[in-house]
């Protein structure tokens, strides 16, 4: 049981971060507004959680301008994919026990 708990990642304990990672795991990339609408959060709330995941190097951020408007795309890095998969497997093991 103790080994399972060690595989839980504090970066994913927040429901918004869990939602961000879940959405990005099943999509190649999503933009800021898509994530905001999907999760039902404010700009500031989403930005702070994206910053926390980026600090852990779990997200890749691509910024560009489309029609003179800023457009930011987010995707999961391999490190993020590995960490999130490990976290989800630990939750599944907890539920089985």
SS3 66: strand
Answer CATH for 2-96 from 1.10.10.10, 3.40.50.970, 3.40.50.300, 3.40.605.10: 1.10.10.10
pLDDT tens column, 33-85: 999 999 999 999 999 999 999 999 999 999 999 899 888 999 999 999 999 99
Domain map of the chain by residue range?
Answer: 2-96
Number of H helices, E strands in the chain: 5, 3
pLDDT tens column, 15-42: 999 999 999 999 999 999 999 999 999 9
Q: Which helix (H) or strand (E) element contains residue 64? A: strand 59-66
Global pTM value: 0.90
pLDDT band at 11 (very low <50, low <70, confident <90, very high): very high
Cα–Cα nearest to 4, from 67, 71, 81, 97: 97
């Amino acid at each position: 049981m103790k080994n399972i708990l060690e595989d839980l990642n504090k970066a994913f304990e927040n429901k918004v971060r869990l939602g961000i990672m879940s959405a990005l795991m099943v999509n190649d990339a999503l933009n800021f507004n898509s994530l905001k609408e999907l999760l039902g959060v404010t700009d500031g709330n989403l930005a702070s959680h994206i910053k926390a995941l980026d600090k852990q190097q779990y997200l890749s951020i691509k910024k560009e301008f489309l029609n003179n408007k800023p457009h930011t795309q987010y995707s999961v890095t391999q490190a993020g994919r590995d960490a999130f998969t490990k976290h989800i497997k630990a939750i599944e093991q907890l539920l089985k026990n």
